[in-house]
Structure 1
Amino acid sequence: MKLVEATADDLEALADRWYDLAEAMAEHSELNELDVGTTAETAEDGFRSHLDHEDVTDYLVIRDGETIGFVTLREGRHPSRQYSQYLRIVNLAIDDDCRNRGHGAAVLERVKELARERGCDHLKVSCEWQNEGARRFYRDAGFQPKQVDYAQPLE
């Protein structure tokens, strides 16, 4: 398994996989409901904007020459903290037919290597509170709960 930095040629593959991930997240909160009329175009635009940002990088997850998922990483800093330089896993998705085979864990190991190469001292990730599978995955990988995000729709 390897991570290959995505290019403009990969936007459709990224958007398709993001849509599958976003659709799965909709079951965990009404705030994740997709606007079906704009989703595909908006997703590609979002990934296109990542190409111009130094702090955001999308990678395709490649196994035996085939794309089986993607990961989006964002670098950041907390200048006043002892652990100040972080790499955030924004998205991590492995195709349904390739799950539960260690690919997600392998991606995390590669992300740790990338973080160290970039001078980061910790990783961050968020997941839906109701997504027990994701919470278990990250706990099993050694992540510790740190804070809770709250959201409220404004109507």
Structure 2
Amino acid sequence: MSADVTIEPATSDDVEAVAELWVRLARGQRAYDSYVRADANRNRMRETLAAHQATDGLLVARAGADDTLVGFVSFSLEHGTLELDATRGTISNIYVEPTHRGRGIGAALLEAAEDALADRGAEVVILEVMADNEAARRFYREQGFDAFRVTMERSLADRDEQAVQSENDTHSKEDE
């Protein structure tokens, strides 16, 4: 990582700027078929990020002499209703401005979040990545992450079209 970049806990004054970075992240994920509407969720994410900040689950990356915010990571311990064999930490968002990528900032943010989660008792860390985002998947593999769970999707509109097509195919074969 570049010497002019620092990773540190976000302050309450950072939340608005981090929310703007999150909007950029969400907009970028649309290219990979994310359903998340970036601008429509800005206020909700500002609140969510403020909650992460209040619980020390929001780190920021600052670069340059003016400490410009260039990235962030939000994370928490998983608190589900089921008893698990391992305490899991969750990385909910990680983003680095495109002009600052390739400098180790994402890896530094991820490592700092993992360290904080380990200090809180996490034994494993989980995160989600869009299936078609090969650059992100490659980054996480390079950081030692392995596929853990696969989420599959099916369009119900496509299902209905397939059913109509199958019905038409059946009828056409019977008519021959």
Do the structures match in fold with TM over 0.5?
yes
Output one character per residue of 1:84-142: Cα deviation in whole Å (capped at 9) or x when no partner.
Answer: 11211110001111001111112222223222222211111110001111100001111
Alignment of 1:38-117 (within 5 A): 38-51=40-53, 54=55, 57-64=57-64, 65-76=67-78, 79-81=83-85, 84-117=86-119
1:148 maps onto 2:150 in alignment: yes
1:11 maps onto 2:18 in alignment: no
Give the drift of 1:7.
Answer: 3.0
Mark the CA change 1:93 to 1:105 in structure 2 (over 3 Å): closer, same or farther: same
Residue type at the aligned position of 2:152:
Y
Ranges in structure 2 where 5+ consecutive residues have no aligned partner: 158-176
Residue type at the aligned position of 1:138:
Y
Hey, what's the Cα distance between the residues in 2 that align with 1:35 and 1:69? 17
* Alignment-derived partner of residue 120 in structure 1: 122
As a proportion of its length, which structure holds more helix? 2
As a proportion of its length, which structure holds more strand? 1
| Length-normalised TM-score, structure 1 | 0.81
Ranges in structure 1 where 5+ consecutive residues have no aligned partner: none
Residue type at the aligned position of 2:115:
E
Q: Helix, strand or coil: the match of 1:31? A: coil
Output one character per residue of 1:47-94: Cα deviation in whole Å (capped at 9) or x when no partner.
Answer: 234355x4x72221223433210100011256332xx11211110001
Would you say the 8 A contact 1:31–1:153 is kept in 2?
Answer: no
Q: Helix, strand or coil: the match of 1:74? A: strand
Q: Helix, strand or coil: the match of 1:124? A: strand
- Residue identity over aligned pairs, in percent, reads 26
| Length-normalised TM-score, structure 2 | 0.73
Alignment length (residue pairs): 149
Residue type at the aligned position of 1:11:
V
Hey, what's the Cα distance between the residues in 2 that align with 1:127 and 1:79? 25
Q: CA RMSD in A?
A: 2.5
Residue type at the aligned position of 1:60:
V
Which of 29, 32, 39 is 1:28 aligned to? Answer: 32
